[in-house]
Chain A
């Protein structure tokens, strides 16, 4: 998910606060006060740590769920990996279905909703606090998360609504209602409504205001400070043109540029790693040593583990339910094939892209360690590792890449802005699906939501609404609380689908076309 951890968000908020006129600030402050006193309990509830630790229970909730699904489906993420690749390559696609959405397209679109700021800035925060060892736990959690995605996306396709005109609506709210009633379980409707409310809040917050806010911060960083509402109006205008005006060209340009940016990012990281090939062994040494000892980071091994798990869980959205909405729009005869395809997302997002960021930061020597003991040195606060020039968050990633290629910071700024935009487009869709689930399908109802969405773009970019952002982040993870409960109840259905598919694959009923 394209959100940084709180540290990065706070530094951005501080920057925005410094530039906001005094008048507006007092209004902001009032809004902040009222909002935080009303919603603070909810944020605290979602992000509260286990007693006596700094480990947020929501992170444990996501990682334990991922482990349960990994065991229940007997490590499906590794067993089905080659088959998933074959599906994406189109080996099993019937040529007569050409012109329908391909598995590759479904994967690319879902990925463009998750790859972004989290992979760039979030990883820097994680490694900056948890040290290189955080990377190990991040990869582990990413690998486990693949099983969660597999489960939720299979269900998303299986229980979607198909309408007469050929369009579809799907997602957790549909498997909660239909799946639960099919199994004779109560409360499906209640959970679906709860999920939809959280989804709308998350879509307006983490999927919108936070993105607009970060995009403005990035642009201001490059061109100099200017009022955020300008960015907000421009962004809102573009979002409006795409989601209400149906202006396909902007969306399709973005959807083409975003994967290109993602590939450019990974390739640049690979080149930097190759340039420092003699250090790769050392870097992995640091990752393994750090994973089990912490190498001096705050909290030691546990500190590294918390940061790694947190980053993975926050980055790939496995268990949140958003990917289930994205994949359910795909027309396929076999729901399970979308599950197979989706399990590649945490792999690409977390195991590949996040790891690249971490490796570049480690290998370019951004983190300062004591040459005598090999332990990392902490800053005055004793929480984060000292870095060259004291960089944190996205600035740390930028510095690491720029150490090899000076021009990369401009590419990074463009990438962040585009990633923010593509996340907004994706989340506007997720929010809309939750909205139509609650209020019914219909053109006017849809336009109402889309207008609200555009208004929130302006608010997000111009205001320093920390508590609002906190609340909407909390809403996104509240989606995961409801969604994973549903997944536990519905996972036997996925198992049945899996067995049926595997036996037909064996018997040759499902065959390769290419």
Chain B
């Protein structure tokens, strides 16, 4: 079984560049790629009664949209690249959930992009890449 590399992917231009980098990396190490898409979700946010009632329906819609509009086109685009590709779709805090995916897949490395914000907002809210660098159980490659 080939080694696995998890790539954080969110359909942004920077994450597409990240994926390209990860594909080259995988080719050179003859590793497989796990394209991980995390839908941001906190179990501690507040909802109205109506939102609670519709939550299950919305969740199914969100999963369906992510599967068909985000992950499926990417996987299709990588057919014939010679790299074995699989996907992971989860809800949660992005950095924590990426780590969970790494553990579940038994991956050896994680590759993520970065937003490039360095100012106030990342000081207050932190950044996914920064958090991952601190908490990831495997080496992290941050693609600029």
Contacts and interface: CB of A to CB of B under 8 A. Distances in A.
A227 interface: no
A350 to B, nearest CB: 21
A426 B48 CA distance: 7
B57 A243 contact: no
Nearest to A242: B48
Nearest to A98: B91
Given A98-B92, A99-B91, A109 B47 contact: yes
Interface size on A, as a range, is 35 or more
Contacts of B97: 98
Interface string B54-66: 1111011011000
Given A104-B43, A104-B44, A326 B56 contact: no
B82 to A, nearest CB: 32
Nearest to B100: A95
Contacts of A166: 54, 56-57, 60
A326 B41 contact: no
A109 B100 contact: no
B47 A99 contact: no
Given A106-B52, A108-B46, A429-B50, A99 B62 contact: yes
Interface size on B, as a range, is 20 to 34
A259 B52 CA distance: 16
Contacts of B43: 90, 93, 98, 102, 104-105
Interface of B is mostly: helix
B90 interface: yes
A375 interface: no
Most chain A CB within a 10 A radius of its CB, from B56, B90, B92: B56
Nearest to B45: A105
Contacts of A495: none
Contacts of A330: 52
Nearest to B50: A429
A252 interface: yes
B13 interface: no
A98 B38 CA distance: 11
Interface in B46-95: 46-57, 59-60, 62-63, 90-92
A282 B21 CA distance: 70
Contacts, number: 91
A182 interface: no
B140 interface: no
B51 A248 contact: yes
B50 A252 contact: no
Contacts of A104: 43-44
A257 to B, nearest CB: 9
B57 A95 contact: no
Given A93-B43, A104-B43, A251 B54 contact: no
Nearest to B97: A98
A100 B49 contact: no
A497 interface: no
Most chain B CB within a 10 A radius of its CB, from A98, A100, A108, A259: A98
A330 B52 CA distance: 6
Contacts of A252: 46-48, 51
A109 B53 contact: no
A251 B48 contact: yes
A165 B57 CA distance: 6
Contact of A259 (B46, B50, B57, B62): B46
A330 B48 CA distance: 12
23 contacts: A95-B92, A99-B62, A100-B55, A100-B59, A101-B47, A105-B44, A105-B45, A105-B47, A106-B52, A109-B46, A109-B49, A113-B49, A168-B56, A251-B48, A252-B51, A255-B47, A255-B48, A258-B46, A329-B52, A331-B55, A331-B56, A425-B48, A426-B48
**Which 8 A-B residue pairings sit nearest by Cβ, starting from the closest?**
A102-B43, A99-B91, A98-B91, A166-B57, A429-B49, A255-B46, A329-B53, A166-B56
Interface of A: 90, 93, 95, 98-102, 104-106, 108-109, 112-113, 165-169, 242-243, 248, 251-252, 255-256, 258-259, 325-326, 329-331, 425-426, 429-430
Interface of B: 39, 41, 43-57, 59-60, 62-63, 90-92, 97, 100
